[in-house]
Structure 1
Amino acid sequence: MKLTTRQKQVLDFITTAVTEAGMPPTRVEIARQFGFRSINAAEQHLRALARKGAIDLMAGTSRGIRLKLSTGLPVVGQVAAGSPLLAEENLQGTRALSGTLFNPKADYLLRVSGLSMRDAGILDGDLLAVHATPKANNGDLVVARIDGEVTVKRFQRKGGKVTLLAANPDFAPIEIDPRKHEFAIEGLGVGLLRNLA
């Protein structure tokens, strides 16, 4: 499903309304949000989203919009922000928000364990929104797998060596020679949900 930029914005607006208010917006609210001159413009965007399979439209009601895409992000495993901790691949539930609220899109949430990323504002128990990708640039916040274990760190590559940097002076950098260790980037950290429990 390929959405235009505006269609994605409208879908994000609907998703946010459903997540925060518990109900979809009216056509009038959509038109007001995006500065459309008529409700018909909002209706055209909704019909396009329905054709592309993102929503269902129900006739006869002003809030007759139902999201077809999952509005939940799965919470997967537990990721160490300290020493690498084996990530369990089983689902630990979902959180009711759309991955499209993040840029790039989040594919899942990982629960952080430890305080090695404390100075980057990532605390024990927080949920890190992760965009699944095997690529990273220097300085990116990454979820990295080292010999089967997973950790959250800042990525740095120099020559053939990879260094994973903590954001807490109490934790030493993790230096990896990819020729001697299994190493992979699992994804990029693209957002954070604070654990308020």
Structure 2
Amino acid sequence: MPNPPLTERQQRTLTFLRDYLQAQGLPPTLREIADALGFPSHSSAQACVESLVRKGMLERSPQHRGLRLSGDHGRVTRAAALAALPLIGRVAAGSPILAEENIEAQLEVEPALFHPRADYLLRVVGLSMRDAGILDGDLLAVHRTHTATDGQIVVARLDDEVTVKRLKHERDRLLLLPENPDFDPIEVDPRRHEFAIEGRYVGIIRRA
């Protein structure tokens, strides 16, 4: 009997659950699902999980965080589980970077080609990172993390803008450095700016 069709949101949730189970050995909480996939609320994550249970992709179990992959869905092939990454275009002000409204497409790219593995692709706009080989229109492979070390290229949120820059700590201040002399460094002042690291650059895809 063929598998019931999944919506894009359900497929992303199933893939996240599978990857989380493989990495952690237990299912994620609804909060972790909502945060990772940009759902607007826990109830949205709950509704998506319930849909996957009804479609037979997930099963309830009596254990803590009682979810598990059902039957053959827990043994899907590597290609089915790992062969797509969400492509993020323009990020809406104030929205989580992986919110559905920011996702342009799901591209057939193997996340494990990158180290650490990529969680999403970000479309590059502009030439501020030109001298690092990152050009306008490139697809930046990003490992989702909220921490980075000095000198790494990061995807950073500064107030309502998302930017790609090199991170630099300098005494008592934090700088976001371009790789193009035509652009000025950005100094992050925590008294005036809301700042967060959204991910770390792990590779690039350039379409012909």
Larger RCO (CA within 8 A; separation ≥ 6): 1
Q: Report the alpha carbon displacement of residue 54 of structure 1 after superposing the two structures with TM.
A: 4.9
* Aligned residue number for residue 164 of structure 2: 152
SS of the residue 1:156 aligns to: strand
Cα separation, 1, equivalents of 2:75 and 2:166: 35
Higher relative strand content? 1
1:122-146 CA-partner distances (Å, limit 9, x unpaired): 0000000000100011110000000
Q: Report the alpha carbon displacement of residue 97 of structure 1 after superposing the two structures with TM.
A: 1.3
Alignment of 1:32-111 (within 5 A): 53-56=74-77, 67-78=79-90, 89-111=101-123
Q: TM-score, normalised by structure 1?
A: 0.62
Q: Report the alpha carbon displacement of residue 192 of structure 1 after superposing the two structures with TM.
A: 0.1
Cα separation, 2, equivalents of 1:78 and 1:138: 26
* Aligned residue number for residue 179 of structure 1: 191
SS of the residue 2:81 aligns to: coil
Higher mean alpha-carbon deviation, 151-160 vs 106-115, is at: 151-160
1:77-102 CA-partner distances (Å, limit 9, x unpaired): 237xxxxxx97852100210121111
Larger CA Rg, structure 1 vs 2: 1
Q: For the structure 1 residues 180 and 54, does the alpha-carbon distance in structure 2 shift closer, same or farther, using more than 3 Å as the test?
A: farther
| Contact 2:90 2:102 (8 Å CA) reproduced | no
Question: Which ranges in structure 2 are unaligned for 5 or more consecutive residues?
Answer: 1-20, 24-70
SS of the residue 1:113 aligns to: coil
Cα separation, 2, equivalents of 1:52 and 1:138: 41
| Contact 1:117 1:167 (8 Å CA) reproduced | yes
Say how many residue pairs are matched.
Answer: 135
| Contact 2:142 2:203 (8 Å CA) reproduced | yes
Aligned residues with identical type, % of pairs: 53
Alignment-mate amino acid for residue 76 of structure 2: I
| Contact 1:160 1:177 (8 Å CA) reproduced | no
Alignment of 1:112-151 (within 5 A): 112-151=124-163
